[in-house]
Amino acid sequence: MANEKRKGGPPVELTPEYIAEQRALREARKKAKREAKAAKGEPIDDQPAFDLSFVKRPMLDIPDTAPYASGLNVKIMTYNALAQCLIRRKLFPENGNALKWKWRGRVLANEISHYSPDIICMQEIDSDKIDSFWKPELAKIGLETHFMTFPGKRHGNIIAFNTRMFSLVTQRLVNYDEIETPGADKQFNTRNTGMLVALKAKEYEDFGLVLGTSHMFWHPMGSFERTRQLAVFVDKATEFKTHFPNHWPVLLAGDYNSECFDTPYLCASTHPLQLTQDALDILHNSAAHSFAKVKPEEEEEDDEEEAEEAADTNEQTEGPSEEDRKQGAQKVESLLFFYRSLEMQTVSLYGERYKTVHPENVHPKSLNGEPFFSNWAHAWRGLLDYIFVLKSKSDTTPNLRDEIAKNIKVLQLLRIPEPSEMGDEPSGQPREGQYPSDHLCLMAKISLNTNQS
């Protein structure tokens, strides 16, 4: 059977012949450029300098929205920076020098500095680059960096904040493998974690905020586990918030590895809970799927490519049995019951307001108005990253017209490119002169009402 091609793009399954062909074409283009320079008498640099530029995107003003008179205005960013320890050329076959850390790290730092967030939540941050790179680089723009991960894991999460605006009160690791969800047990140890911090606002005597970030389970059949992990994250963030004044908002920004029409997003954001039949079917199939033969956690390599190969090799080769489906259905019901019992639901900053500034780039399957994508890799493109605020399910008093939740307004959103703007194939990121990760950063400028007496 012929290897199918994505429209206008590379084949679905890369072959050695295709990779060799692309390399030959790239070398031919380089040779043609050198010959053209030679013909003009221009000097030829066999190792041209790497283009450290990146696509600069504007912040889009939300119409008819003004900050609170006594508001704390904050720019919050989420960014999956693509851990260097996870990069394998077969996953990024056409990206060339854009994958090399000596270049990519500089572009990442320059890009973050350009947008100058007051708070940044980051995922896939190499553990061995925290002290040598991330802390000093983020300190250059006034940010204090805190890092957490699963013990022994080679990448993890960062929350960094502007020290002129905030001071750290406390922080907590959320280890999904160790937290039970009654009747909806984890499928196996994923080593995914969440991170929570409480920040005191220096300008105000009794105001601050709770922040969380997480990078959730990646596997294509992992919808049930991702949905469980998000339930745990919301629950633990709600519990964490009880240690601080009730008027402190909770913001959860990260890579949830699920799209806006998938069960994690729908379960967390809808009240009463609403799932499409497609989403429910995916959840049931995932819950019945067996990960039982995946290598034990202590034996696994901390590498998503190798983990995927192990899962593909060791998982069930036949469909789930009737008993698997029965047990899976029971787990789904228990998980949905757990969601219904949660005190808080998520509200997406982009989901609520992006349609007002860029309606032609709204995802057709989004119930509210999320953009098309935040991840643009070689083999997959879609929306995985979100900035959520938590909202009490029991609070039925209406918001002000320009609020997305009580005492929270979105003033600006960082523009997300349309798919057509990503260029000719191959266009999978990271790419020289474009974006330094396979994810795009998201950023929102928000106004928090500090006068809630």
* 316-357 pLDDT, tens digit each: 446 788 888 888 899 999 999 999 999 999 999 999 999 999
Question: Residue 293 — pLDDT band, cuts 50, 70, 90?
Answer: low
Task: Indicate whether 314 pLDDT > 90.
Answer: no
Q: What is the average per-residue pLDDT within 183-187?
A: 91
> Is the predicted pLDDT of residue 37 greater than 70, yes or no?
yes
- Per-residue pLDDT at 137: 98
How close are the terminal C-alpha atoms of the chain, in Å?
68
Three-class secondary structure of residue 409 per DSSP: strand
Q: What is the pLDDT of residues 216-245, one digit of tens each?
A: 999 999 999 999 999 999 999 999 999 999
Q: What is residue 300's predicted lDDT score, i.e. its pLDDT?
A: 38
**In this predicted structure, what is the pLDDT of residue 6?**
52
Q: What is the mean pLDDT of the chain?
A: 90
Contact 358, 415 (CB under 8 A): yes
Separation of alpha carbons 109 and 111, rounded Å: 5
Domain coordinates in residue numbering, the chain: 59-275+341-449
The residues with which 348 forms a beta bridge, in sequence order, are 388
Task: Kindly give, in sequence order, each residue whose CB lies less than 8 Å from that of residue 442, ignoring residues fewer than 6 positions away.
Answer: 77, 78, 79, 253, 350, 374, 385, 386, 387, 413, 414, 416
352-376 burial, b for 16+ CB within 10 Å, e for fewer? bbbbbbbeebbbeebebbbbbbbbb
Q: Please give the angle made by the CA atoms of 202, 130 and 382, to the nearest 5 degrees.
A: 90
CATH superfamily entry for domain 59-275+341-449: Endonuclease/exonuclease/phosphatase (3.60.10.10)
Asked if pLDDT for residue 311 goes beyond 70, the answer is: no
Please compute the mean of the pLDDT values over residues 152-176 and round it to a whole number. 98
User: 370-415: per-residue pLDDT in tens?
Assistant: 999 999 999 999 999 999 999 999 988 888 899 999 999 999 999 9
Q: Is the pLDDT of residue 274 over 50?
A: yes
pTM (2 d.p.): 0.86
Contact 346, 393 (CB under 8 A): no
Asked if the model's pLDDT at residue 308 lies above 70, the reply is no
- How many percent of the chain have pLDDT more than 70? 89
Angle, helices 322-341/223-241, rounded to nearest 10 degrees:
20
pLDDT band at residue 19 using 50, 70 and 90 as cut-offs:
confident
